[in-house]
Amino acid sequence: GGGTPKTSEERYWDGSIPWLSGADVSGNHKGFVLSSAKRITEVGLNNSSTKLLPQFSTVISARGTVGKYCLLARPMAFSQTSYGVTPRFEGSHFFTYLLIDHSVNALLSAAYGSVFDTITTRTFQNFVIHLPPEDEILYFEQKVRPYFLRMKLNKDQIHTLEKLRDTLLPKLMSGKVRDFRHTATQIGSI
Protein backbone atom coordinates (compact mmCIF):
# COMPACT_ATOMS: atom_id res chain seq x y z
CA GLY A 1 0.00 0.00 0.00
CA GLY A 2 0.84 3.65 -0.21
CA GLY A 3 0.85 6.40 2.35
CA THR A 4 0.22 10.07 3.01
CA PRO A 5 2.90 12.53 4.12
CA LYS A 6 1.83 14.65 7.11
CA THR A 7 -0.46 17.35 5.77
CA SER A 8 0.64 19.67 8.60
CA GLU A 9 4.19 19.68 7.20
CA GLU A 10 4.20 22.30 4.43
CA ARG A 11 7.63 21.19 3.23
CA TYR A 12 6.13 17.79 2.29
CA TRP A 13 3.62 19.23 -0.17
CA ASP A 14 3.46 21.19 -3.45
CA GLY A 15 6.55 19.55 -4.89
CA SER A 16 7.12 17.91 -8.24
CA ILE A 17 6.11 14.31 -7.43
CA PRO A 18 2.51 13.40 -8.36
CA TRP A 19 0.68 11.85 -5.38
CA LEU A 20 -2.43 9.82 -6.25
CA SER A 21 -5.51 9.84 -4.07
CA GLY A 22 -8.40 7.42 -4.46
CA ALA A 23 -10.20 10.12 -6.48
CA ASP A 24 -7.29 10.30 -8.93
CA VAL A 25 -7.40 6.52 -9.38
CA SER A 26 -11.18 6.33 -9.88
CA GLY A 27 -11.14 9.38 -12.15
CA ASN A 28 -8.74 7.58 -14.49
CA HIS A 29 -10.29 4.11 -14.14
CA LYS A 30 -9.17 1.69 -16.85
CA GLY A 31 -6.78 4.17 -18.40
CA PHE A 32 -3.57 6.12 -17.99
CA VAL A 33 -3.26 8.70 -15.24
CA LEU A 34 -1.10 11.62 -16.40
CA SER A 35 -1.13 13.76 -13.27
CA SER A 36 -2.67 14.08 -9.83
CA ALA A 37 -4.56 16.73 -7.91
CA LYS A 38 -1.82 16.87 -5.26
CA ARG A 39 1.97 16.74 -5.44
CA ILE A 40 4.58 15.99 -2.81
CA THR A 41 8.23 16.86 -2.34
CA GLU A 42 11.21 14.51 -2.16
CA VAL A 43 11.30 15.27 1.59
CA GLY A 44 7.64 14.24 1.89
CA LEU A 45 8.32 11.04 -0.03
CA ASN A 46 11.29 10.15 2.18
CA ASN A 47 9.48 10.93 5.46
CA SER A 48 6.28 8.97 4.91
CA SER A 49 5.13 5.48 4.05
CA THR A 50 4.17 6.44 0.50
CA LYS A 51 6.13 4.78 -2.27
CA LEU A 52 7.20 5.97 -5.70
CA LEU A 53 6.01 3.50 -8.31
CA PRO A 54 7.71 3.25 -11.70
CA GLN A 55 6.07 4.29 -14.95
CA PHE A 56 3.48 1.81 -16.26
CA SER A 57 2.75 0.33 -12.81
CA THR A 58 -0.89 -0.45 -12.03
CA VAL A 59 -2.63 1.16 -9.05
CA ILE A 60 -5.86 -0.33 -7.69
CA SER A 61 -8.07 1.37 -5.09
CA ALA A 62 -8.57 -0.65 -1.93
CA ARG A 63 -11.06 1.57 -0.09
CA GLY A 64 -13.83 3.94 -1.04
CA THR A 65 -14.12 3.29 -4.76
CA VAL A 66 -12.87 -0.27 -4.30
CA GLY A 67 -11.59 -2.02 -7.40
CA LYS A 68 -10.95 1.02 -9.61
CA TYR A 69 -7.54 0.80 -11.29
CA CYS A 70 -5.30 2.73 -13.65
CA LEU A 71 -1.87 2.75 -15.29
CA LEU A 72 0.78 5.30 -14.36
CA ALA A 73 1.95 7.39 -17.31
CA ARG A 74 5.01 8.38 -15.26
CA PRO A 75 6.48 7.58 -11.83
CA MET A 76 4.04 8.57 -9.07
CA ALA A 77 3.49 8.15 -5.34
CA PHE A 78 0.12 7.06 -3.96
CA SER A 79 -2.04 7.15 -0.85
CA GLN A 80 -2.83 4.34 1.56
CA THR A 81 -6.28 3.93 -0.04
CA SER A 82 -4.64 2.07 -2.93
CA TYR A 83 -2.16 -0.66 -3.77
CA GLY A 84 0.59 -0.41 -6.32
CA VAL A 85 1.10 -3.49 -8.46
CA THR A 86 4.38 -4.02 -10.26
CA PRO A 87 5.13 -6.89 -12.62
CA ARG A 88 6.63 -10.14 -11.44
CA PHE A 89 8.70 -10.30 -14.61
CA GLU A 90 10.68 -7.21 -15.64
CA GLY A 91 9.10 -5.47 -18.60
CA SER A 92 5.63 -7.02 -18.31
CA HIS A 93 3.71 -3.98 -17.02
CA PHE A 94 0.88 -4.19 -19.54
CA PHE A 95 0.37 -7.92 -18.95
CA THR A 96 0.14 -7.11 -15.23
CA TYR A 97 -2.41 -4.36 -15.89
CA LEU A 98 -4.53 -6.70 -18.02
CA LEU A 99 -4.23 -9.38 -15.34
CA ILE A 100 -5.67 -6.93 -12.79
CA ASP A 101 -8.38 -6.00 -15.31
CA HIS A 102 -9.25 -9.69 -15.71
CA SER A 103 -9.11 -10.41 -11.95
CA VAL A 104 -10.79 -7.37 -10.40
CA ASN A 105 -14.22 -9.00 -9.96
CA ALA A 106 -12.67 -11.98 -8.19
CA LEU A 107 -10.63 -9.61 -5.99
CA LEU A 108 -13.80 -7.69 -5.12
CA SER A 109 -15.66 -10.85 -4.18
CA ALA A 110 -12.75 -11.74 -1.86
CA ALA A 111 -12.68 -8.24 -0.30
CA TYR A 112 -13.14 -7.87 3.44
CA GLY A 113 -15.18 -5.50 5.54
CA SER A 114 -18.07 -5.41 7.95
CA VAL A 115 -19.65 -2.24 6.56
CA PHE A 116 -17.61 -1.38 3.46
CA ASP A 117 -15.63 -3.86 1.41
CA THR A 118 -11.90 -3.32 1.43
CA ILE A 119 -9.15 -4.99 -0.54
CA THR A 120 -6.41 -5.82 1.96
CA THR A 121 -2.95 -7.33 1.78
CA ARG A 122 -4.63 -10.58 2.83
CA THR A 123 -6.92 -10.35 -0.23
CA PHE A 124 -3.85 -10.39 -2.47
CA GLN A 125 -2.07 -13.08 -0.42
CA ASN A 126 -5.07 -15.42 -0.64
CA PHE A 127 -5.66 -14.77 -4.32
CA VAL A 128 -4.28 -17.51 -6.57
CA ILE A 129 -3.53 -16.93 -10.24
CA HIS A 130 -2.00 -19.43 -12.61
CA LEU A 131 0.45 -17.60 -14.83
CA PRO A 132 1.72 -18.72 -18.21
CA PRO A 133 5.49 -19.24 -18.58
CA GLU A 134 7.64 -16.10 -18.52
CA ASP A 135 8.55 -16.33 -22.21
CA GLU A 136 4.85 -16.34 -23.17
CA ILE A 137 4.15 -13.35 -20.91
CA LEU A 138 7.03 -11.41 -22.47
CA TYR A 139 5.92 -12.36 -25.99
CA PHE A 140 2.40 -11.16 -25.18
CA GLU A 141 3.84 -7.95 -23.71
CA GLN A 142 5.80 -7.34 -26.89
CA LYS A 143 2.60 -7.62 -28.93
CA VAL A 144 0.37 -5.38 -26.77
CA ARG A 145 2.99 -2.75 -25.86
CA PRO A 146 2.52 -0.67 -29.07
CA TYR A 147 -1.22 -0.40 -28.40
CA PHE A 148 -0.71 0.80 -24.83
CA LEU A 149 1.96 3.29 -25.91
CA ARG A 150 -0.49 4.63 -28.52
CA MET A 151 -3.19 4.93 -25.82
CA LYS A 152 -0.76 6.92 -23.66
CA LEU A 153 0.21 9.16 -26.58
CA ASN A 154 -3.49 9.77 -27.35
CA LYS A 155 -4.18 10.69 -23.72
CA ASP A 156 -1.16 13.05 -23.72
CA GLN A 157 -2.44 14.74 -26.89
CA ILE A 158 -5.98 15.06 -25.53
CA HIS A 159 -4.59 16.61 -22.34
CA THR A 160 -2.54 19.12 -24.38
CA LEU A 161 -5.57 20.05 -26.49
CA GLU A 162 -7.76 20.48 -23.39
CA LYS A 163 -5.20 22.84 -21.85
CA LEU A 164 -5.02 24.81 -25.11
CA ARG A 165 -8.83 25.03 -25.25
CA ASP A 166 -9.02 26.16 -21.63
CA THR A 167 -6.43 28.87 -22.35
CA LEU A 168 -7.84 30.10 -25.66
CA LEU A 169 -11.59 29.92 -25.09
CA PRO A 170 -11.78 32.75 -22.52
CA LYS A 171 -9.57 34.91 -24.76
CA LEU A 172 -11.76 34.20 -27.79
CA MET A 173 -14.93 34.97 -25.82
CA SER A 174 -13.52 38.26 -24.49
CA GLY A 175 -12.24 39.36 -27.90
CA LYS A 176 -8.57 39.36 -26.84
CA VAL A 177 -7.92 36.76 -29.54
CA ARG A 178 -9.78 36.77 -32.82
CA ASP A 179 -10.36 33.96 -35.27
CA PHE A 180 -8.83 35.36 -38.46
CA ARG A 181 -10.10 32.57 -40.70
CA HIS A 182 -13.50 34.23 -41.06
CA THR A 183 -14.28 37.66 -42.45
CA ALA A 184 -16.99 39.76 -40.91
CA THR A 185 -20.12 39.98 -43.04
CA GLN A 186 -23.20 42.05 -42.31
CA ILE A 187 -26.35 40.02 -41.92
CA GLY A 188 -28.12 42.01 -44.64
CA SER A 189 -25.54 41.08 -47.27
CA ILE A 190 -25.84 37.31 -46.82
Give the confidence band of 180 by pLDDT, cuts at 50, 70, 90: low
Query: Does residue 114 register a pLDDT over 60?
Result: no
Of residues 187 and 153, which shows the higher confidence score? 153
CA 114 to centroid of chain Cα atoms: 28
Average pLDDT over residues 16-28: 95
Q: How far is residue 39's CA from residue 167's CA, in Å, rounded to a whole number? A: 22
Residue 94 near residue 138, CB atoms below 8 Å: no
Q: Which of 7, 8, 2 is nearest to 20 (CA)?
A: 2
For domain 10-130, give the CATH number. Answer: 3.90.220.20
What residue segments make up the domains of the chain, in order of their start? 10-130
CA 152 to centroid of chain Cα atoms: 11
What pLDDT, on the 0 to 100 scale, is given for residue 89?
93
Q: How far is residue 11's CA from residue 63's CA, in Å, rounded to a whole number? A: 27
pLDDT (tens digit, 9 = 90+) per residue, 169-179?
898 888 887 76
The whole-model pTM stands at: 0.81
**SS3 of the chain:** CCCCCCCCCHHHEEEEEEEECHHHHHHCCCCEECCCCEEECHHHHHCCCCCEECCCCEEEECCCCCCCEEEECCCEEECCCEEEECCCCCCCHHHHHHHHHHHHHHHHHCCECCCCCECCHHHHHHCCCCCCCHHHHHHHHHHHHHHHHHHHHHHHHHHHHHHHHHHHHHHHHHCCCCCCCCCCCCHHHC
Average pLDDT over residues 23-47: 96
What pLDDT, on the 0 to 100 scale, is given for residue 179?
64
pLDDT (tens digit, 9 = 90+) per residue, 78-92?
999 898 999 999 999
Residue 78: what are its φ and ψ, rounded to 5°? -150, 160
Rg of the chain over all Cα atoms, to the nearest angstrom? 21
